[in-house]
Structure 1
Amino acid sequence: MAGTADQEEILRGVLDRWQDAVDAHEPDVVAACFTEDAIFQGLHPYTVGRRGVADYYDSQPRGMTARYRILETRRLADDLVLGYMSVEFGFVDRPPLAVNLSLLVRRDADGWSIAHYQVSLLP
Structure 2
Amino acid sequence: MPNALKLALMSAALLVAVDAWGQISTLATCTRSANLLACVDADGNAYSVNTVGSTIYLRGFEAAGKRYWAQTNSRYGQLTFFTGIASDGETWVGYNRRVGWTTINRFSSSGGSSARFTCSRVAGC
Q: TM-score range by the shorter chain?
A: 0.3 to 0.5
Report the TM-score when normalising by structure 1.
0.32
Bigger strand share: 2
Report the TM-score when normalising by structure 2.
0.32
Bigger helix share: 1
